Amino acid sequence: MLRRIIAGVVIGVMLAGSAAAGPLEDGYAADKSGDYAKAVELYRLAADQGEAKAQVNLAIMYAKGEGVPQDYSKALKWYRLAADQGDAKAQCNLGRMYAEGLGVSRDHAEAMKWYRLAADQGNARAQVNLGFMYEKGQGVARNYSKAVNWYRLAADQGYATAQKNLGVMYEKGRGVPQDHAKAVKWFHLAADQGEVKARSFLAVMYAKGLGVPQDYVLAHMWFNLSASQGEETAVKARDSLAGQMTPDQLAEAQRLAREWKPSPN
């Protein structure tokens, strides 16, 4: 009797778990496996039922042209449905559609509106985009201090682009007092995550001795790491710097680049 009860409980749990799976979860699985047409079909089933995450994923499929012909207008439609439900990712992506004029006329003010809604929910990407709008004066009066504030919120979440942008603000003294040491700190955090431009910027700081002791070896290493990611300016800067280094320095820099690992937290 006890065995039957236990077996019944186990079967019940298994059935409950099976019942919990639905088109959204199955869509995730199809998407992950590369069966994009199936993923679209499943996402649509859930999206038509008002599932915000499915609406976002369906919008992404249309934006990328995965499983369906690329169609920014349909992507916009599905992002808006999810955004109107308060989904932060949808709000951020909808803001990007307006910022870049994808499926809709470019409208920086409308982009700002959606970015702010997502940023206020803690969406790091939206915070970066909002900071960029303030930095460039797009859809709003240019305000470096507000740009720094939004970059910092995203940077504190570990978002590499925000860390790089915040480093630039410190390096240039925009919205904050110029502080090369703090610029290096933020460039380093972003560079450790593989942010290609942050690696080049950090290399420049080492090459010029800004915020850190001048160090051609480390400068070459960071230029080399950036160059390996296809950054053409880093290739030129690395090769130019190599002409000012001794063979031993160059060998050491190349060794460090080969053996590079992110700094421990």
Query: Does residue 110 form part of some domain?
Result: no
- Rounded to the nearest 10°, the torsion over CA 19, 24, 29, 31 is 160
Query: Does residue 120 form part of some domain?
Result: no
Secondary structure E strands in 90-192: none
Query: Does residue 73 form part of some domain?
Result: yes
253 closest CA partner among 237, 264, 240, 242 = 242
55: CATH: 1.25.40
- pLDDT for residue 21: 63
Q: How far, in Å, CA of 56 to CA of 76, rounded?
A: 10
**For 223-246, what is the mean pLDDT?**
96
Residue 205: exposure state from Cβ atoms within 10 A (0-12, 13-18, ≥19): buried
- 48-102 pLDDT, tens digit per residue, is 999 999 999 999 999 999 999 999 999 999 999 999 999 999 999 999 999 999 9
Three-state secondary-structure class, residue 162: helix
- 136-189 pLDDT, tens digit per residue, is 999 999 999 999 999 999 999 999 999 999 999 999 999 999 999 999 999 999
Sorted by sequence, the CB contacts under 8 Å of residue 215 that are 6+ apart come out as 206, 209
Structurally, how many domains does the chain consist of? 1
Domain assignment of residue 46, given as a range: 25-81
Residue 1 pLDDT > 70: no
Query: Does residue 111 form part of some domain?
Result: no
- pLDDT for residue 88: 98
Query: Does residue 44 form part of some domain?
Result: yes
Query: Does residue 147 form part of some domain?
Result: no
Among residues of the chain, what percentage have pLDDT more than 70?
91
**Do 128 and 150 form a contact (C-beta atoms < 8 A)?**
yes
Query: Does residue 29 form part of some domain?
Result: yes
| 71: DSSP letter | -
Query: Does residue 35 form part of some domain?
Result: yes
pTM exceeds cut of 0.85: yes
